[in-house]
Structure 1
């Protein structure tokens, strides 16, 4: 799965900044690359990349933060940007996601797998979330969103079950809502070419079905050119773009997937629960234009015709219909 590629230069627009992204930005400045190229390598807009430079340079001084950061890097290639970034994240009460923090997140997540016993016997309440909040430090919602960005989870209910949550807190409430929404949720897969033309749309009852269909569609369409796809979850009454299970970024595929059989991709593969919206719907029957244009012409009484014509000659009768 590739989020950053030439066909989708801003695929990480709106995503969290981590130490890895800061390091990529600094490396680009050390190499003397223009801001446009650095932004493209990060999958973000140039403006967002320039603005983020303020988190890597001390306040004060003349000129824009992006210009002052480049000057500082040119003067000292070993510029200590990490210490400044940590301090500014702490001042803004933002978690600083570096390799150590993400390793801790993965370790606790993998160690917090709940037992499969549906009776939940001999199970202690999970404490992983409380440990993460204390050690990172970061609020519950930030930890949840990072788990989603890392692809470790897609459900508030799963996160609450595995890591625990504050009773009555935001995560607890979202988990309860997720459990209610799960049985009635539907998944929509949309694929588009590099020009933005939609080439496929389908509806699926489960996320796994949508992912399976995505692989088939991308393998088929990627032979024609770059293609991007996105899966969104829809629940009746839910506002668009507010669902945790929606794709955060467009999934780009600019070449055939090697892990799929292209022969299957070219054939009409039956996907479980698939409702293909690409197939043309039969047109409703249209009325006969000849019959629809027929109108009854009102007939004039013969006595009135004689009075208007002033003679006894009566014109031929008009047809009832034309």
Structure 2
């Protein structure tokens, strides 16, 4: 074996162990830690399996013990080993959730949120079912890409009057109503066949949507009449409030393309025109 090969063999495990360093921990990983620890695996072995550092695994062990015990390092490891061996049904997820102030989400809880969103289950009921606050539940709905904003969540599921989420909703609603809407289009064709980028500011989402429809019609008819061969034009619609907060980012109806095809062949549903204004 060459000297270079020996160096590589020694260095590779270190790279593998730290490869997932800094990435968020998943429920499956915590479950692997618990199973491996109960089977007698060392912290180093668990770290190698998960491609984490031993320090990261020890940090995870602390989160799997009740926060009231304030256990760290070897103390957390030893306590958890004893608990798992003596009480196989130990609820480590409850400890993990307690450390995160109710923001730890399991696949089962996520499935409940997905189904609750589909059925438009009241937010208070949904939050109680998964054991979280309405605010934490809303944030998870956004992380799961079910909701795009507090406006989406409350308009669909409601919220408890006087709660933290309602306060955020009222602020966001007022900002939304006072927002100006910026429409940008890359590669727009005007009536003279000139291709340029477009930007305009509108007082409402509805006005911006009407401008997009008008510009789209001109773009397509001109491209067809002049037999222009162009790539699809991209448009974006963003609302800006007085505090520079952005509304609508991430919504399917705030970005789209204008296919450069003859008007009679174009599928208007593919344009993705913005939905009606919230008024």
Interval of TM-score (by shorter of Structure 1 and Structure 2) = 0.3 to 0.5
Structure-1-length-normalised TM-score: 0.40
Which one scores higher on RCO, CA 8 angstroms, separation ≥ 6?
1
Indicate the structure with greater helix content: 2
